[in-house]
Amino acid sequence: MKQISFIIILMSILVFSGCENHKNNTDNTKKAKNSTVAKQTKLNNSNQITLHSVDGNDLTLIKDGNNLKIKGMKNKVILLDFFATWCPPCKAEIPHLVNLQKKYKNKLQVISVLLENNKPDSEIKSFIKYNSINYIITNGPNNYKLSSMMGEVQNIPFMILYNKKGNIVTHYLGAIPEEMINSDLEKVIK
């Protein structure tokens, strides 16, 4: 009985914790000391960046302070998700993101920003098919530039919710229950 309780507790910790982003392993310890969740959501001065979507449609993101707009996506709430395919909590969130994208199809756009070096689009397309993903996944070196613009995303999954005007509503660190994200979406999608 004690072993079962231990296993349940261990699994809960794994699911509800985040994975560390290992992009620059030598700098991670130093940066982690200086980084906070609030710092992760802080955007620098006005900039523009283009992300490569694995479906072939590039996305141009324009940030101004803490605001973020995406060219061609007017009147949509944006859920920006930093993730990796090797991260168990990131994979655990996929069905929830699929459900939310389906539920709010014309009002929400989930955009997942892959933080993995040199991952071929063909592998990501297989990952999308295997997981029945119905939202945008971006891949490439500009994903890391966006992470840097956001204050260096240190732990994943890390999501930022933006309202239709491009203002930050909230952020999520680690695996988050679908009901919590849905509750926040209900408030901003009206």
Banded pLDDT at 90 (limits 50, 70, 90): very high
Q: What is the DSSP letter of 162?
A: E
CATH number, domain of 123, equals 3.40.30.10
Global pTM? 0.78
* Average pLDDT, integer, range 35-39: 38
d(CA 116, CA 160): 19
Name the residue with tokens 């389906």.
Answer: 102
- The per-residue pLDDT for range 131-149, each reduced to its tens digit, is 999 999 999 999 999 998 8
Q: Which domain holds residue 142?
A: 2-189
**pLDDT of amino acid 136:** 97
Q: How far, in Å, CA of 182 to CA of 55, rounded?
A: 26
**How many domains, the chain?**
1
Q: What percent of the chain has pLDDT over 70?
A: 76
145 Cβ contact partners less than 8 Å away, ≥ 6 residues apart? 49
In the numeric block, which tokens belong to residue 35? 């980084």
Answer whether residue 121 shows pLDDT above 70: yes
Question: How much is the average pLDDT of 68-91?
Answer: 93
Q: Could you tell me how many residues make up the chain?
A: 190
| Contact (Cβ atoms closer than 8 angstroms) between residue 171 and residue 161 | yes
pLDDT at 9 over 60: no
Is a pLDDT exceeding 80 seen at residue 10? no
| Per-residue pLDDT band at 150 (split at 50, 70, 90) | confident
